[in-house]
Amino acid sequence: MHLFRLDASIRTTGSVSRALADTAEQAWLAEHHDAVVTRRDLGLEPLPADLWAKAARHAVDPSAPPAPQTAALVERLGAELLDADAYVFAVPLYNWGLPAHVKAWIDLLLLNQRFGANGDRPIAGRPAVLALSRGGGYGPGAPKEGWDHASPYLRRILGDTFGLDLHVAEAELTLADVTPAMAPLRGLAADLLKAGHENAAAHGRRVADLVRA
């Protein structure tokens, strides 16, 4: 068995998305003790931001300089997903949107002919856990309702474009403990975090069962 895990938080200590992913991964490993886990940490080792532009420019304008290094990376990123049986993606919300280094990873993957818009969706149907964290509150009735532009996008890319069987574990109000103005929300934040970990564990077990089946 082979699990691919992607992390995107720029924090290692105190990262909620990493903690939720840890819970999901541990649940997976409890069912598949000898599983291989391949990790790509975009938070600690982001992909160079200019690679996609160089490769895309050459694709639309053959007179532009080719980018052989980028082509090799695109193949490697695709191979990491192709080699896995299941996935854990851990992504925080930054500035109401997707972290730039996650967008760079997705853009490069979509240059891969198999993963792009006209590809054959080679990982469709495989199970995945998406662990999301949001510092504020974005649910119905919240002042920032509708400001989370990352979660819908990730669902579209991972679930619709790649075709993964996506199971989402999420927690919000994660900045309540360190933000004085959010002090009245700390009890709710704790409940949401607890529920997020419970869902992550349940999803990790579910994904493990789906692969075993």
Give 165-188 pLDDT, tens digit per residue.
999 999 999 999 999 999 999 999
**Run of H or E residues at 171:** strand 165-172
CA distances from 21 to 39, 59, 75 (A): 12, 36, 25
Residue 31 sits at φ, ψ, to 5 deg, of -95, -25
Total of domains in the chain: 1
What's at 153, amino acid-wise? Y
Residue 101 structural domain: 2-212
Smallest CA-to-CA distance from 155 within 144, 171, 166, 170 is with: 166
User: Beta 2-7 vs 127-134: how paired, if at all?
Assistant: unpaired
Question: Which tens digits make up the pLDDT trace of 7-40?
Answer: 999 999 999 999 999 999 999 999 999 999 999 9
Helix/strand/coil percentages in the chain, nearest 5: 45, 15, 35
Question: Which tens digits make up the pLDDT trace of 117-151?
Answer: 888 999 999 999 999 999 999 999 999 999 999 99
The CATH number of the domain holding residue 141 is 3.40.50.360
pTM for the complete prediction? 0.95
Whole-number Å distance between alpha carbons of 203 and 59: 39
Residue 56 sits at φ, ψ, to 5 deg, of -65, -35
